[in-house]
Amino acid sequence: MTAPVLELRNIRKRFGSVQALQGADFTLAPGELHALLGENGAGKTTLMQVAYGLVRPDAGEVRVAGMGVAMRSPRVARGHGIGMVHQHFTLVPALTVADNVALFAGWPVSPRALRERVRELGDRVGLPLDPDARAGRLSVGLKQRLEILKALASDARILLLDEPTAVLAPGEAEELLAVVRRFTVAGGSAVLITHKLDEALAAADRITVLREGRVTFSGPSQGQTPRSLAEAMIGENKFLATEARAGGAGLEAGSGEAAPLVRLESVEVPRESGYGLAIRPTSIAVSGGEIVGLAAVEGNGQRELLRAVAGRIMPLRGRLTVAGPVGFIPEDRTTEGLIPELTLTENVVLGSTGSEPWLVGGRVDWRGARSHTAAIIQEFEVAAPSPDVPAAVLSGGNQQKVVVGRELSRTPRVVVAENPTRGLDLRATDAIHRRLRAAAAGGAAVLFHSTDLDEVLRLATRVLVVARGVVVEPPAGASRAQVGELMVTGGR
Amino acid sequence: MAGGLQLAGYDAAAALGALWNGAFGSWYALTSSTLVRAVPLILIGLGIALAFRGGAFNIGAEGQFYAGAIAATWVGVHLAGVSSPLAIISVWGAATLAGVAWVAVPVWLRLRFGVLEVISTLLLNFVAESLVSLMVQGPLQEAQRIYPQSDPIAEAARLPLLPGTRLHVGFLLALFGAAALWYLFARTLWGFRLRAVGTGPRAAEVSGRIDTGRFTAIALAGSGALAGLAGGVEVSGVSYALFQNLSPGYGFTGIAVALLARLHPLGVVATGILFGALEAGAGAMQRDAGVPAVAVYVVEAVVIVVVLLVEAGRRAGPVAGRVRA
């Protein structure tokens, strides 16, 4: 029995009044792909941050290759061959890919050699990147790739990945997991933090489940089922409704009843950069009660289409008619949906249209706004101590609930959501789905996109594929594989 | 500061005593030294706070002040037979417009070409100072053509004073301005949206109802207006004429005033008075205790650094605690 390459024993950590970890143990064997599973707030990221030296535990110890180590900082961790890829990117947008890698890994910065080295590293591990591309301009999936390259460039033998597939399309996610598998086969060890059961089951050798700071299960992935893992994660006997199809929501064949709330007639939408077309001449109609899911790989125009409907991008040509009010849930909650430094009340006022009761003649009735925010917090089950806390202190799931609550509480007739459940756990995802369904049941037209194809198929009453700027409706009864193929080929 | 003074061989107690007396020691000192110096600092500070809230850096308040002073002097000198309230309003109005005009070019450059206003406003300061030199040696020079200064402005354009002091009506204007801006920021939707533009421009843009470019432009214009007005108030209330070095760096001290008050309009009144007091006391300190007045600038710097450190310490608190599992 070889010594574990990384061991965390009896880790305790408290943040203020929250006990994030209550005596958690974790063991990583050499060459192992180990999934760390749990809901948001369960303690997974914190536990790995202890291993990476970002967080000092109140109690417990970290052992690397059998020896106790005082993990004082990420530098110490990197010295022991541990690399971490975070959920929130730590890139310098203004620098190129090569510079970012050099900055992080401490490589000498002579331009030519550096670029070659970065290019070679990318090709070798199966994550090719253009060394001269500016990091800020990369798509989310490619930024992710850069983060991983940075970790590997520092000669990491132990890779800690925090929700790496949260931002990726299905194909990209599979590619990434394949890369990680290659890494472990070559002798490295990896920890995959995730809340996706299927992913853990499919990719990992061993799984450890955390619930509320404690380990509720740790063992080989073989022999486990989604049900058994869900029980360990949530502690309830019934599996959440997200597994079942959207049946019961009563939305089938909702189209065609009333006049469409969203109508596009030969609409062309430019790219946000201004150069070129994101959406070619398209005609679509969406009625109240429909939930239209856009199935698309990132960068094919679905974002521009949604933003055009939401009124954030002006179409180049064609006629676009959208019934107001429109609720818009942007993809990036921390830079586009909310202003993290402002309080929840202020963030709700940010999204105001000007016709709210607590806005009279240009004046803000802050008390009224505050109680409105408190009502949103209550109704949308946001775990926040009060409306006066800065949005930054909320977890991702709760931040998203605030954005959704703010938009939906206006009873919009059209709801546009970009990847609304990105990075959220089962419970939060389920809550958002319920809300979107309720909005549709109330007569709104809902349009959304998700990088998780299964989510699109599950939530939508009607699926549209967007590939290379062309919107295609899959034939009735199309299978998942057929839709996936359409996403890539565009029906050609 | 006491330690520094002592080390430098000065009598610290006497120096600090002189400083205090010069600023607050008497009713006259309070009104005619401290508060008079506070007026331009408050007005400019308010303007800079306004710009900062909108995410813009107005480093050109000095130049805008001079632009306002030039306009005010021009109007004040050429007024003929206009009675008092109207004369004052014309002078102030001209000064305000001049301030807006002086910031208009940087605003246009920022909107059209993305030129950083830090640079464009800063550079225009030098142009304004040169323009003052030109004016007081040319078109605006006094009739006798001896000194590089303008003729005094018309009596009707001079501000009424608090009897027995040199404190002019501009002080009330400054207080009113602070109250108005407070109301704007705390109670109106426009003021809130300005803050959103300054704190989270991307989110403000995406919210779909905020034109960030317009907000920034208006904030900068307002900033220039207030700085220009400060120039006009100084001419109509204190100097009654235009000459070089009319401003002992108000445009720059105003930045410290605004930042120290953390952009809060009512706080700007307090910090404006604080800096006014320090500068009033500096003169007395030099006169009475022989300590070079520039020592006060050291004090100002120390105050700024301390406040920034405290601010940084506070900032590290709640947002760092957002680390979640």
> Tens of pLDDT along A7-52?
999 999 988 767 889 999 999 999 999 999 987 667 888 899 999 9
Other CB atoms within a 10 A radius of the CB of residue A136 amount to: 12
Give residue A256's pLDDT band: very low, low, confident or very high (50, 70, 90): very low
Q: Nearest C-alpha of chain A: how many angstroms from B190?
A: 7
Q: Nearest C-alpha of chain A: how many angstroms from B186?
A: 8
Specify the pLDDT at position A41: 67
Specify the pLDDT at position A219: 92
What count of residues does chain B have?
A: 325
pLDDT in tens, B14-62: 777 787 888 888 888 888 889 999 999 999 999 999 999 999 999 999 9
Specify the pLDDT at position A253: 38
Contacts of B112 (CB under 8 A, 6+ apart): none
Contacts of B25 (CB under 8 A, 6+ apart): B284
Contacts of A36 (CB under 8 A, 6+ apart): A26, A44, A47, A48, A191, A192, A193, A194, A207, A208, A210
Q: Do B210 and B99 contact (CB within 8 A), yes or no?
A: no
Q: Do residue A351 and residue B190 have CB atoms under 8 angstroms apart?
A: no
Would the pLDDT of A240 be above 50?
Answer: no
Nearest CA in chain B to A335: B203
**Among A199-208, A251-260, B86-95, B218-227, which is the least confidently predicted range?**
A251-260
pLDDT in tens, A40-90: 667 888 899 999 999 999 999 999 998 999 999 988 998 899 999 987 788
Q: Which of A17, A344, A350 to mutate against chain B (most B CBs within 10 Å)?
A: A350
Q: Nearest C-alpha of chain A: how many angstroms from B307?
A: 20
Whether residue B203 lies within 8 A of chain A, CB to CB, comes out as: yes
d(CA A212, CA A291): 34
Nearest CA in chain B to A399: B322
Of the partner residues A45, A311, A390, the one whose CB lies closest to the CB of residue B325 = A45
Q: Do residue A15 and residue B209 have CB atoms under 8 angstroms apart?
A: no
When pLDDT is averaged across residues A94-122 and rounded to a whole number, the result is: 84
Q: Do residue B189 and residue A354 have CB atoms under 8 angstroms apart?
A: yes
Give residue A343's pLDDT band: very low, low, confident or very high (50, 70, 90): very high
Residues of A in contact with B195 (CB under 8 A): 342
> What are the C-alpha distances in Å from B184 to residues A423, A431, B54, B177, B180?
38, 38, 13, 10, 6
Would the pLDDT of B320 be above 90?
Answer: no
pLDDT in tens, B57-104: 999 999 999 999 999 999 999 987 788 889 999 999 999 999 999 999
Residues of A in contact with B203 (CB under 8 A): 335-339, 350
Spatial CA neighbour of A398 closest among A384, A418, A419: A384
pLDDT in tens, A441-466: 999 999 999 887 888 988 999 999 99
Structural tokens at position A281: 């001449």
Residues of B in contact with A40 (CB under 8 A): 324-325
Q: Do residue B196 and residue A350 have CB atoms under 8 angstroms apart?
A: yes
When pLDDT is averaged across residues B175-189 and rounded to a whole number, the result is: 95
d(CA B146, CA B141): 9
pLDDT in tens, A149-175: 888 888 889 999 998 887 776 677 888
Of the partner residues B188, B202, B207, the one whose CB lies closest to the CB of residue A351 = B207
Q: Do residue B189 and residue A396 have CB atoms under 8 angstroms apart?
A: no
**Among A250-254, A319-323, A335-339, B80-84, which is the least confidently predicted range?**
A250-254
Query: How many interface pairs between A and B have CB atoms less than 8 angstroms apart?
Result: 97
Whether residue B208 lies within 8 A of chain A, CB to CB, comes out as: yes
Give residue A236's pLDDT band: very low, low, confident or very high (50, 70, 90): low
Q: Do B5 and B19 contact (CB within 8 A), yes or no?
A: no
Give residue B10's pLDDT band: very low, low, confident or very high (50, 70, 90): low
Of the partner residues A311, A330, A395, the one whose CB lies closest to the CB of residue B324 = A395
Q: Do A298 and A141 contact (CB within 8 A), yes or no?
A: yes
Q: Which of B189, B215, B314 to mutate against chain A (most A CBs within 10 Å)?
A: B189
Q: Nearest C-alpha of chain A: how many angstroms from B262?
A: 15
User: HSE-up of A489 (CA within 13 Å, CB side)?
Assistant: 9
Structural tokens at position A448: 């959304």
- A31 alpha-carbon distance from chain centroid: 27
- A277 alpha-carbon distance from chain centroid: 26
Whether residue A46 lies within 8 A of chain B, CB to CB, comes out as: yes
Of the partner residues A46, A339, A363, the one whose CB lies closest to the CB of residue B200 = A339
Element at A150 (helix H, strand E): helix A140-153
Q: Nearest C-alpha of chain A: how many angstroms from B193?
A: 7
d(CA A166, CA A143): 13
Would the pLDDT of B297 be above 50?
Answer: yes
Spatial CA neighbour of A451 closest among A243, A176, A170: A170
Residues of A in contact with B197 (CB under 8 A): none
Give residue A285's pLDDT band: very low, low, confident or very high (50, 70, 90): very high
Q: Do residue B325 and residue A42 have CB atoms under 8 angstroms apart?
A: yes
Task: Give backbone dihedrals phi and psi of A231, rounded to 5 degrees, phi first.
Answer: -60, -45
Residues of B in contact with A46 (CB under 8 A): 323-325
**By CB neighbour count within 10 A (0-12 exposed, 13-18 middle, 19+ buried), where does A433 fall?**
buried
Specify the pLDDT at position B315: 64
Would the pLDDT of B276 be above 80?
Answer: yes
Whether residue B206 lies within 8 A of chain A, CB to CB, comes out as: yes
Q: Do residue B325 and residue A44 have CB atoms under 8 angstroms apart?
A: yes
Whether residue B317 lies within 8 A of chain A, CB to CB, comes out as: no
Q: Do residue A390 and residue B202 have CB atoms under 8 angstroms apart?
A: no
Give residue A130's pLDDT band: very low, low, confident or very high (50, 70, 90): confident
Q: Nearest C-alpha of chain B: how many angstroms from A214?
A: 12
Would the pLDDT of A208 be above 60?
Answer: yes
ipTM value, please give it: 0.83
Q: Nearest C-alpha of chain B: how many angstroms from A184?
A: 25
- Positive or negative: CA dihedral B206, A352, B55, B103: positive
Q: Do residue B203 and residue A337 have CB atoms under 8 angstroms apart?
A: yes
Specify the pLDDT at position B9: 64
Angle ∠(A162,A166,A167) on CA atoms, nearest 5: 115
Residues of A in contact with B200 (CB under 8 A): 335, 338-342
Q: Which of B183, B184, B193, B207 to mutate against chain A (most A CBs within 10 Å)?
A: B207
Q: Nearest C-alpha of chain B: how many angstroms from A204?
A: 20
Of the partner residues A338, A353, A364, the one whose CB lies closest to the CB of residue B188 = A364
Contacts of A312 (CB under 8 A, 6+ apart): A328, B206, B208
Q: Do residue A38 and residue B325 have CB atoms under 8 angstroms apart?
A: yes
Of the partner residues B187, B208, B322, the one whose CB lies closest to the CB of residue A392 = B322
Would the pLDDT of A277 be above 50?
Answer: yes
DSSP structural state of residue B236 = I
Alpha helices in chain B (DSSP H): 2-7, 12-24, 27-28, 36-53, 61-78, 84-113, 117-136, 170-187, 189-199, 201-206, 212-234, 250-260, 265-289, 295-315
Of A291-305, A347-361, A366-380, where does the model show the most confidence?
Answer: A366-380
pLDDT in tens, B116-133: 999 999 999 999 999 999
Spatial CA neighbour of A324 closest among B304, B174, B209: B209
Nearest CA in chain B to A307: B206
d(CA A263, CA A278): 18
Task: State the residue for tokens 């000065």.
Answer: B10
Averaged pLDDT of chain A: 85
pLDDT in tens, B194-203: 999 999 999 9
d(CA A153, CA A118): 8
Q: Do residue B209 and residue A390 have CB atoms under 8 angstroms apart?
A: no
Residues of A in contact with B322 (CB under 8 A): 392-394
The amino acid at residue B133 is: S
d(CA B25, CA B135): 38
Would the pLDDT of A116 be above 90?
Answer: no
d(CA A348, CA A420): 17
d(CA A435, CA A442): 10
Nearest CA in chain B to A343: B196
Whether residue B114 lies within 8 A of chain A, CB to CB, comes out as: no
Would the pLDDT of A251 be above 70?
Answer: no
Angle ∠(B152,B158,B162) on CA atoms, nearest 5: 130
Structural tokens at position A44: 């997974």
pLDDT in tens, A353-368: 878 888 888 899 999 9
